[in-house]
Amino acid sequence: MKSVIIFIMILSIFTIIEGEDSLQYNKLTEEEKRVIIDKGTEPSFSGEYSDHYEEGTYICKRCNTPLYFSTDKFKSGCGWPSFDDEIPGSIERKTDADGRRTEILCANCGAHLGHVFTGEGYTDKNVRHCVNSISMEFIPDGEPLPLQKAFFAAGCFWGVEHHFKQADGVVKTEVGYAGGHTDNPSYEEVSTGNTGHKETIEVLYKPDEISYEELVKLFFEIHDFTQTDGQGPDIGEQYLSYIFYINDEQKEAAEDIIDRLEEMNYEIATDLEKAEDFWEAEDYHQDYYEKTGKQPYCHIRKKIFED
């Protein structure tokens, strides 16, 4: 009897996991699985986007995460789509199984995208993301994206993440570091205040459920955006108030809300900066308050906006 019960429990857990995956990831064809899951490669010059230059955004075929803007795509003649930059926080790099090349994957779901190369001199950035077309979908400018990204810094990222995770329409959050001048910094390095990084949260959200403007309003309502030297008792450059925008639309939306706050006679200390890099923080920082059961000590939501 015990063995039967254990089997049923295992089957139930497996079913739940399968159900969660079906909700989170898109269904793939066998050929898509060969490339995206099994790390295969489509034949050169055979992909839909190898010679494709419309304006828009390329997203992950498996999970819909935005990966590349068309403005970063260039013609390399290699037979696969080529990009010299990525949307911050969207790409994970790993040493390939051959021990020589660097594999690139979707940072959200781990889907295999292709490989990244440096030193070839194609563009001023001297980087080439060589991506399988079959690993992506293209969304033209003007059409809604199923998922979008946003980056905010508002003091200690533990409390900021706690509040954003509760917002309807937010799919996933990661805490990390942005706005600095060193690569892949550690928490200890950032804590010195010498790297230029801010404790930052990456928000992956559904634009049809929550708008970027609503996220910006939430950002302003959960911290003191008038403080110029940190946040609450946390003093230092790493705790400053920043909005890292990924495109002009986000910048303009943030500027509009700042204008509204200034009309309310607030003195705004928040800076706006183009998102360049986002470095994920150590595992023990992720979902900190959910892991510890504690409550944020310096982030309490205060309603400011009526709409």
pLDDT, residue 171, reads 95
- Domain with 203 in it: what CATH number? 3.30.1060.10
- Residue 234 is assigned to a structural domain of this protein: yes
CA distance 145 to 167: 19
| Residue at which a domain ends, from 140, 160, 192 | 140
Residue 122 shares a structural domain with residue 242: no
- Residue 288 is assigned to a structural domain of this protein: yes
Q: Helix 212-221 crosses helix 248-263 at what angle (to 10 degrees)?
A: 40
Q: Which helix (H) or strand (E) holds 154?
A: strand 148-154
CA distance 219 to 237: 18
Residue 156 is among the residues annotated as catalytic for this protein: yes
Residue 132 shares a structural domain with residue 156: no
- Residue 185 is assigned to a structural domain of this protein: yes
pLDDT, residue 294, reads 86
Residue 97 shares a structural domain with residue 123: yes
pLDDT, residue 187, reads 97
CA distance 20 to 201: 24
| Residue at which a domain ends, from 119, 140, 161 | 140
pLDDT, residue 260, reads 97
CA distance 224 to 231: 7
Residue for token pair 């490339």: 35
pLDDT, residue 297, reads 77
CA distance 29 to 223: 45
CA distance 4 to 237: 58
- Domain with 53 in it: what CATH number? 2.170.150.20
Residue 130 is among the residues annotated as catalytic for this protein: yes
- Residue 54 is assigned to a structural domain of this protein: yes
- Residue 297 is assigned to a structural domain of this protein: no
pLDDT, residue 307, reads 76
* In 75-176, alpha helices (H): 157-165
pTM: 0.89
Q: Which entry of 60, 63, 130, 298 is annotated as an active-site residue?
A: 130
| Residue at which a domain ends, from 140, 165, 198 | 140
Q: Which entry of 60, 63, 106, 156 is annotated as an active-site residue?
A: 156
The count of structural domains within the chain is 2
pLDDT, residue 267, reads 97
Q: Per the structure block, which two tokens stand in for 88? A: 């911050």
Residue 110 shares a structural domain with residue 43: yes
In tens digits, the chain (307 residues) has pLDDT values of: 344 333 333 333 333 333 333 347 999 999 999 999 999 999 999 999 999 999 999 999 999 999 999 999 999 999 999 999 999 999 999 999 999 999 999 999 999 999 999 999 999 999 999 999 999 999 999 999 999 999 999 999 999 999 999 999 999 999 999 999 999 999 999 999 999 999 999 999 999 999 999 999 999 999 999 999 999 999 999 999 999 999 999 999 999 999 999 999 999 999 999 999 999 999 999 999 889 888 877 788 999 998 7
- Residue 115 is assigned to a structural domain of this protein: yes
pLDDT, residue 261, reads 98
Instruction: Reduce the DSSP state of residue 85 to 3 states and report it.
Output: coil
Residue range of the domain that includes 51 = 30-140
Residue 205 shares a structural domain with residue 283: yes
pLDDT, residue 106, reads 98
Residues 6+ apart with CB under 8 A from 89: 107, 149, 151, 174, 176, 202, 278, 280
